[in-house]
Structure 1
């Protein structure tokens, strides 16, 4: 039987991919997921694992090496600041027509967000954020080559985003190649993450028949019950170089962990432990009422741990809040013909359904 999330108020359910269902069926907080991987959902052990060694560059989704070289810290910092500027600027502008959100989710909001946030960038830079391009290695390489010849000076009517400006302002070919990679990764990570969070929240509201009285609380409860970042992975060997032996760092922390084991940290499971949560499988946004800093809640890890938190965490909830506010104000609603919604095995946990605008 697939797990139901939340209570079956309209007999709606979430049907997880078999491997996720298998994880949800685990009763122990530390278990062997396969011959080389140990799954962990114990909050204290998770903290010890993260503290055992720094996260390696190749374990980061956005800041992993690009163009054959490490991403310098100052480049990473500039990327975060530029993305923050672009989100702030976009939120001050009218959003695209809401009818563009109709269709399959999370694909529809992903495309919508990329248009909203990065649609002002000139060709070919804007192609870096197109789903049809990012899903094709051949098209990605062609666009990358085109972007390398993008003019390096801005005119008086230039509307490029700050993130695109990092490409134009690159000092040398390597920095330019890395800026192109960072543009693609940062735009994809932000838009995909916000779309997944907003979609999961919209489905939970639909499934329970709740009114979204407090969208911010709704999003925090969605991050608890259906967190897009449902698993954090730590490699057990030194695949990234630098002399850090993940297996050696982890092996003494728990009897189940052997030298060389990979570690799967599972917020999806930790967020459902009854020792941290009352009625853990119930969708209850009211549990966040009056909580000043949700991330300090025990047993809650929506954006990772200190030292390895999601670089865009301060943008994701406000942007998802604004997206849902706009969508719901224009009558966007779930119109899926199914009574359940699939959640495939992907890096981001996202409910699949169809939405339409108006009655």
Structure 2
């Protein structure tokens, strides 16, 4: 199950992922305190056994020494959706911004497209050069907390996104610090996830069948989510809720759920390693397909799932309309061990 073939291109996973893909068991022990699961039925039961903890969510985990209140999280989700839909209606930035190393070029391009209305230093919160440095991140966080922006002469806020407005509208320092953390996490999660999905699709499509694939980019993206789901593992902290579900799981065991393994298993899929977007052509609701978990199960689905595929399709459309192509002599691409599975490659704009 280790290597997926897209007619002329393939991917090579990091050794840890290759070891996982080589396993035949659907329930297996990873180490003395961790159990891996790729069985469709058991995964659904585990997700349904208890609500997801805040510490198990990348966006909602505690910030500034306190839990993120539910109403604050809800406001963030709504604001992000509002900003993403408003931003994508704007003309896209020059496509040369997509050239370079993917998925980083795609992430930077999306941030310029969706969140360019935010003034400094808010716009710095999600810049890659800032987020890679703990010292710079802390400096920018403090600056935004102390100077979140001010109303203009008509009493309106000085432009910016709805997410930035949550920072400015905070009632106290703790709420503002948490709003800063939520801005950084929400924009990063969305842009990183969309760029990873779009980049994976660019690689898997390949040049030979590009005209055919372009006819239905939505199907291309669902098939990409099957073969290379950016969120390839879901993690659950141990406890008694899972012990009755399978004899391998003990109360002290953490549980790792692997959509990546489930999506490639021949028990669930025909020609599981083949990139075949046509398998989705007559599927009315892909998320109801058995053994397919691109965004999680009911009750624990990704909070931005309704944004990811439409944004990735828009990003791909702009890229292909402007002749962005994979620029690599290699027919194999590396997929390193990261929280988001993403193919690494160089891209350029033809004629630029």
Whether TM-score is above 0.5 comes out as: yes
The aligned residue for residue 179 of structure 2 is 179
Unpaired runs of 5+ residues, structure 2, are none
1:207 CA drift (Å) = 6.9
The aligned residue for residue 230 of structure 1 is 232
Provide the rounded CA distance (Å) in 1 between the counterparts of 2:118 and 2:322.
27
SS at match of 1:233: strand
Provide the rounded CA distance (Å) in 2 between the counterparts of 1:142 and 1:152.
16
Q: Is the 8 A contact 1:152 1:169 kept in 2?
A: no
The aligned residue for residue 16 of structure 2 is 19
Provide the rounded CA distance (Å) in 1 between the counterparts of 2:208 and 2:289.
24
TM-score by length of structure 1 reads 0.93
Q: Residue 254 of structure 1: which of 213, 238, 246 is its match?
A: 246
SS at match of 1:301: coil
SS at match of 1:138: helix
Which stretches of structure 1, 4 residues or longer, exceed 4 Å deviation after superposition? none
Pairing 1:341-356 to 2, within 5 Å after superposition: 341-356=333-348
Deviates more, 1:173-182 or 1:154-163: 154-163
Provide the rounded CA distance (Å) in 2 between the counterparts of 1:207 and 1:309.
33
Q: Is the 8 A contact 1:114 1:191 kept in 2?
A: yes
Provide the rounded CA distance (Å) in 1 between the counterparts of 2:53 and 2:150.
36
Change beyond 3 A, Cα 1:173–1:325:
same
Aligned length: 346
1:140 CA drift (Å) = 0.6
The aligned residue for residue 153 of structure 1 is 150
Q: Is the 8 A contact 2:10 2:204 kept in 1?
A: no
Change beyond 3 A, Cα 1:129–1:151:
closer
Pairing 1:25-174 to 2, within 5 Å after superposition: 25-151=22-148, 153-155=150-152, 158-174=158-174
TM-score by length of structure 2 reads 0.95
Provide the rounded CA distance (Å) in 2 between the counterparts of 1:282 and 1:339.
15
Is residue 2:13 matched to residue 1:6? no
Q: Residue 259 of structure 2: which of 228, 247, 267 is its match?
A: 267
Provide the rounded CA distance (Å) in 2 between the counterparts of 1:152 and 1:336.
44
Q: Is the 8 A contact 2:4 2:273 kept in 1?
A: yes
1:118 CA drift (Å) = 1.1
1:18 CA drift (Å) = 0.2
Q: Is the 8 A contact 2:148 2:167 kept in 1?
A: no
Is residue 2:309 matched to residue 1:317? yes
Provide the rounded CA distance (Å) in 2 between the counterparts of 1:279 and 1:152.
54
Q: Residue 308 of structure 1: which of 300, 311, 315 is its match?
A: 300
Provide the rounded CA distance (Å) in 2 between the counterparts of 1:136 and 1:323.
28
Deviates more, 1:56-65 or 1:250-259: 250-259
SS at match of 2:333: strand
The aligned residue for residue 337 of structure 1 is 329
The aligned residue for residue 219 of structure 2 is 217
SS at match of 2:206: helix
SS at match of 1:117: helix
1:31 CA drift (Å) = 0.6
Unpaired runs of 5+ residues, structure 1, are 237-245
What do residues 265-314 of structure 1 show as CA deviations (whole Å, max 9, x unaligned)?
00001111222211111111111112221101110000011111111000
Deviates more, 1:263-272 or 1:209-218: 209-218
1:153 CA drift (Å) = 3.3
